[in-house]
């Protein structure tokens, strides 16, 4: 074993791993945002929807006069059963709003 040929061959060097190849891609382009319209978006409301002002106007026109007339009559007569009194008053007198109500009652 003194000769080179008697020696075992030297081990092969481990293969060096190549670093992964860097792939260059084009940058991703985002689609443009849609332009905002200058006009306000239209909100589809149900046909029965009424604004607060419309509801207030309806109550002031149709409900408040007879209700206040009933309340004035209730305060004037002071019955033992005020709820039944108001019920009868409103059912019997619903088309008669002849009591002048004060302007600043509310």
Distance CA 73, CA 44 (A): 44
pLDDT the model gives residue 35: 76
Q: Say which range, 34-38, 54-58, 75-79, has the weakest mean pLDDT.
A: 34-38
pLDDT the model gives residue 45: 65
Distance CA 1, CA 8 (A): 10
Asked whether the predicted pLDDT for residue 103 surpasses 60, the reply is: yes
Asked whether the predicted pLDDT for residue 93 surpasses 70, the reply is: no
pLDDT the model gives residue 100: 59
Q: Mean pLDDT of all residues in the chain?
A: 77
pLDDT the model gives residue 80: 92
CB 75 within 8 A of CB 89: no
Q: Residues 45-76: pLDDT tens digits?
A: 666 677 888 888 888 888 888 888 888 888 99
pLDDT the model gives residue 61: 84
CB 56 within 8 A of CB 83: no
Distance CA 72, CA 80 (A): 15
Asked whether the predicted pLDDT for residue 38 surpasses 70, the reply is: no
């Amino acid at each position: 074993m003194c000769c080179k040929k008697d020696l075992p061959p030297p081990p092969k060097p481990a293969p060096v791993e190549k670093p992964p190849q860097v792939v260059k891609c084009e940058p991703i382009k985002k689609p443009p945002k849609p332009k905002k319209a200058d006009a306000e978006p239209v909100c589809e409301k149900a046909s029965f929807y009424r604004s607060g002002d419309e509801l207030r106007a309806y109550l002031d026109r149709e409900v408040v006069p007879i209700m206040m007339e009933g309340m004035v009559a209730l305060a004037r007569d002071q019955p033992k059963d005020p709820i039944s009194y108001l019920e009868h008053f409103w059912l019997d007198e619903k088309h008669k709003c002849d009591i002048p109500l004060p302007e600043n009652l509310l």
